[in-house]
Amino acid sequence: MIKIGNCGWSYLNAQDFFGTGWKERFKTKLQAYVSLFDTVEVNSTFYRLPKTETAKKWREEADEINPDFEFTVKVSQIITHFDRFSSEKSLFAFKQIEKTAEALRAKVLLFQSPASFKPSEKNIEKVKRFFENIERRFLFAWEVRWERDWNKETVSSLFSELKITHCVDPLRQECFHSEKMVYYRLHGFGKPSMYNYSFSEQEIQNIKKKIVSQNKPVYVFFNNADCYKNALELRKITETNINH
């Protein structure tokens, strides 16, 4: 199984794909997105959790277009950036994100820690304690930054023990451990902002080679300025592999 999507749908310009009459076909921008892709990473939950009623509404909107559409959910920055897996604040925030994920029928949760969160003995102890104290009803992916700090030995050992998938940008580094799935996030190589980028045809081909060689379900999310266009390009050249 290969699922290709984007880190959010809010920046989608539906008119580019469906013309000026797109609102006659779809109730919302989310529905227009769902008609193009089969998955999305809900990125806004990193900054602020939606009301459960809002998440249910998103699920209902998606179901009207594609009942098999899949949401993944990025966990709150309270856990990864502010409290840093340290206390009851992280555990409480996780329970809140669970409610959102349940409303969306999500299977996968993404953690993303900042570059300043190093694999020190103290931090690793906090991470282990956090994951020991939460329910494991979802698959977990964790994007750590950067490879020079989180080396292969450290990631392989810790992520294997915690049964977490190492989320990476496949054009930047190797995945050191995958747990029941592969989870890729593509950010771009723009300057001064890496997100201001459009992937070339050759880069899209290189991504395809990496994902079709996997023997586990693969999630691929674009997180760059030209994300929707690039995701469709990748989907087109891998369509024979999707859902097989």
Domain ranges of the chain: 2-238
Q: Which CATH number fits domain 2-238: 1.10.230.10, 3.20.20.410, 3.40.190.10, 3.20.20.140?
A: 3.20.20.410
Check residue 241 and give its pLDDT: 55
Check residue 239 and give its pLDDT: 83
Report how far residue 6's alpha carbon sits from residue 199's, in angstroms, rounded to the nearest whole number: 14
- What's the pLDDT band for 148 if we cut at 50, 70, 90? confident
Sequence-ordered alpha helix ranges (H) in the chain: 14-18, 22-25, 29-36, 52-65, 77, 88-104, 121-132, 152-162, 201-212, 227-238
Better-scored residue on pLDDT, 180 or 241? 180
Report how far residue 172's alpha carbon sits from residue 103's, in angstroms, rounded to the nearest whole number: 33
pLDDT digits (tens, 9 = 90+) for 52-81: 999 999 999 999 999 999 999 999 999 999
Chain centre to alpha carbon of residue 196: 19
